[in-house]
Amino acid sequence: MAMAVELQLLAAAVVIGLIQLLWGAAAARRQQGLKWAAGPRDEARPIDGVAARLDRALRNFLETFPFFAAAVIVAYLGGKLGDLTLWGSVLYVAGRALYVPLYAAGVPLVRSLAWFAAMIGLILVVAAIFL
């Protein structure tokens, strides 16, 4: 039995989140140092620039991903998969994949458009549950 495309896109979103986590951690460690990271981290070592943008992008992802995951799973279990969930999932994953490098590079308006596309995608998946 083939896996639903929406579930495959959910798995892709997990990969995007892991990449963000690792990319942001690597950027932060370059600024904070491995010795500090291996220790108890009692004193805060702030980050800035790309590392800080990557951290904010990850926090933003973590705000929306649980809703996306829950919506895809509910739609799948409720037999509500269709065009809305498919295109919504594509929009969410594509928007989130584009958002991170755009934010890391400091691109303002296009980054916001990528975020907006991801949110529209999430809304489409949720809407499909109730239609």
Question: What is the domain-level CATH number for residue 32?
Answer: 1.20.120.550
- Whole-angstrom Cα distance, residue 51 to residue 29? 9
Looking at residue 3, what is its pLDDT? Answer: 94
Q: Please give the Cα distance from 121 to 98 (Å, whole number).
A: 14
* pLDDT over 80 (residue 38): no
Q: What Cα–Cα distance (Å) separates residue 9 from each residue in 34, 56, 112?
A: 34, 23, 21
Structural domains of the chain, count = 1
DSSP string, 56-113: HHHHHHHHHHHHHHHHHHHHHHTT--SHHHHHHHHHHHHHHHHHHHHHHTT-HHHHHH
Longest dimension (CA), the chain: 54
- By CB atoms closer than 10 A (0-12, 13-18, 19+), residue 26 is exposed
Helix (H, G, I), strand (E, B) or coil at 45: coil
Identify the residue with better confidence: 2 or 15.
15
Question: How far, in Å, CA of 22 to CA of 77, rounded?
Answer: 31
Mean of pLDDT over the chain: 93
Mean pLDDT computed over 116-126: 98
What's the one-letter identity of residue 21? L
Query: pLDDT tens-digit profile of 74-113?
Result: 999 999 999 999 999 999 999 999 999 999 999 999 999 9
Residue 10 has φ and ψ, to the nearest 5°, of -60, -45
Q: Is the pLDDT of residue 35 over 80?
A: no
| pLDDT interval class at 37 (50, 70, 90) | low
Q: Which domain holds residue 31?
A: 5-130
